Structure formats: C-alpha cells, structure tokens
Amino acid sequence: MKQKFQGSTRVKRAQLQALCREFKMLQMKEDETVNSYFARTLKIAKSMKVCGESMRENIIAAKILRSMIPKFNYVVCSIEESNNLDTMMIDELQSSLLVHE
C-alpha cells in the first residue's frame, strides 16, 4: 500500500511539474479567440489544482494579461491602469477583453 501511494505521489508531482511548465510557457495564439484562450488557461489551472497546486485568480489574470497577442496591447495597458489587478476576477478580465475582440 505504501509503495502504491508513493508511486501515485510521484506521478502527481511529475504531472504538476509538466502543468507548471505548460502554464509558464502559455501564450495566446494569433488565431485564437479570447474565450478559447481563457478556456485553455483555466483548464491548465484546474488540472494543477487537482494535483494539489491552487493558484489565486489574480495570478491567473496576470498571466493572461502578460500572454495576450500584440493586437491586445492597448487593451491590456488600459486594464492595468484602470483596475486593481490584485482584486480583479477572471470573469471581469474576460468581459473586458471580449468587448475589444
């Protein structure tokens, strides 16, 4: 039983490392919509949570803002200037970006 649990722990740790790497490298694709990018990002974040790594919404929101394609640069600047990113909810961010898509 102990070996089985340790194996499961190792697998989760390896999965978490892969997910962390994927999250770190995440970038919006040129032909991707805001909704599909958010879905892809949140899927990775939820998978990380299953593996034991919870991520605050403001961290996810900051990652999304940093990884948008260049056509959203002016929108990202506007959002950063007019909102408190420490308290911004992901839904708010998504709505703001959808307006400009």
pLDDT tens-place string over residues 47-99 = 999 988 999 999 999 999 999 999 999 999 999 998 888 888 999 999 999 99
Cα distances (angstroms) measured from residue 33 to each of 8, 9, 25? 36, 36, 18
**In the chain, where the domains are located:** 2-99
As a whole number of angstroms, the distance between CA 57 and CA 32 comes to: 22
